[in-house]
Amino acid sequence: MAEPRTIRVGGDQPYDVVVGHHLLGTIPAMLGAAVQRVLVVHPAALATSADTVLEDLRAHGYEAFGAEVPDAEDAKTAEVAAFCWGVLGQAGFTRSDAVVGLGGGATTDLAGFVAATWLRGVQVIQVPTTLLAMVDAAVGGKTAINTAEGKNLVGAFHSPAGVVCDLAALESMERFDFVAGLAEVVKAGFVEDPVILDLVEANVPVLTDPVAASSSDVLLELVERAVAWKARVVAADLREAGPREFLNYGHTFGHAVERVERYRWRHGAAVSVGMVYVAELARLAGRLSDEVVDRHRTVLSALGLPVSYRGDRWEQLLTAMQRDKKTRGSLLRFVVLEGLGKPARLEGPDPALLAAAYAEVAAEPRTGSASRIDL
């Protein structure tokens, strides 16, 4: 088994992302000597792991507290955040203390938001336990909770003090959750690092088995490469004013699918279809070759990810895309490719072009992408 890898995220508040196996014991070193109290935010499903972290923190002299929160998106509410604030207040947390987020992307989003808002900002260590969170949610400093009006509408930019990506945690993931996380890895391959695509194509059997993948050196390299790309982008553009938009490749259409499906689709599955859609859009606009478009379908299909969506939802999808954060007024904006590793922007495409790209990913209304992984 390979040695852990460390990726430095630069910027005003630099921090390290450590990727490897059996790394929970590295958390105290990331906290530093100034911290006295630590709150570990975790879902019920990770109570055993949280107990291990709490025991280790106490053995290192910290006052450690646990806050068990609901699973998945149910954790990202003002009520749950207020519960965490209550724990911090009752335990006397000061500005020199810290929060640890242990869990998937929803948990790390919540923990980061709680840390960002307590006393206007305390230290947070993120310990993502899903592949999606490791390569996406836990790195970059975006924190948020949801409201009745939509996802991630209340949040803050708050860089962590460190991120621990313990690949051993992935062994227990359900296959369809694990494979959905690979969509964000593949995205990094198309937008920045084509070596990722080569590695994925050469290792499909291993990468579609969470047990085999979690202990493999190939997954370690894939996560390292995906995180390294995001680290470079975030260091240059923390608040998404420029090149950080390229991280959203496939997300405009993907987020629309999630909204239309009322978030019953997994994020990675929706982004998978979104990447195929925007690849077709770029091809129709004369900016991307047939070969690269075809590779989108072959790579994603090989992993069991969906590459089509039901063909009777165009008006709903278009309305949802018009609410995308990249939209300016009524001007739709997409991240597209002009070749492997060559991202660009496409602004205000002709409505007929948008509809034509949809026709290229449209499936029968009843079946949609149900033949792929459990969405």
Catalytic one among 230, 266, 297, 333?
230
3-state DSSP: the chain helix, strand, coil percent, rounded to 5? 50, 20, 30
Residue 103, phi-psi category: left (phi > 0), alpha (psi -120 to 50), beta (remainder): left
Catalytic residue, candidates 37, 225, 251, 283: 251
Out of 146, 187, 225, 248, which one is annotated catalytic?
248
**CA–CA separation, 350 and 259 (whole Å):** 23
Rounded to whole angstroms, how far apart are CA atoms 214 and 180? 15
Q: Which one of the listed residues 175, 232, 244, 287 is annotated catalytic?
A: 244
Active-site residue 296, yes or no?
no
Residue at token pair 């259409």: 253
Q: At what angle do helices 217-236 and 195-202 cross, to 10 degrees?
A: 160
Kindly name the residue from 3, 120, 264, 366 that is annotated as catalytic. Answer: 120
| Catalytic residue selected from 184, 192, 224, 245 | 184
Compute the half-sphere exposure of residue 185: CA atoms within 13 Å on the CB side of its CA.
30
255 is catalytic: yes
- 184 catalytic residue (yes or no): yes
> Per the residue annotation, which of 42, 76, 142, 333 is the catalytic one?
142
Residue listed under structure tokens 């948990």: 107
Known catalytic membership, residue 325: no
Give buried/exposed letters for 96-105 (b at 16+ CB in 10 A, else e): ebbbbbbbbb
Q: At what angle do helices 195-202 and 290-303 cross, to 10 degrees?
A: 40
Which of 63, 171, 240, 338 is catalytic? The answer is: 240
Q: Examine the residue annotation and report whether 240 is marked as an active-site residue of this protein.
A: yes
Taking phi over 0 as left and psi of -120 to 50 as alpha, with beta for the rest, 257 belongs to: alpha
Could you give the CA distance from residue 347 to residue 344 in angstroms, rounded to a whole number? 10
DSSP per-residue codes, 229-249: HHHHHHHH-TTSSSGGGGGGT
Instruction: Give the active site residue among 76, 187, 267, 313.
Output: 267
Location of structure tokens 């919540």:
110
Q: Residue 168 gets which letter from DSSP?
A: G
The set of residues, in sequence order, having a beta carbon less than 8 Å from that of 45 and lying 6+ positions away, is 71
Q: Is 42 an active-site residue? A: no
Is 158 a residue of the active site? no
Q: Is 244 a catalytic residue?
A: yes
Catalytic residue numbers read 120, 142, 184, 230, 240, 244, 248, 251, 255, 267
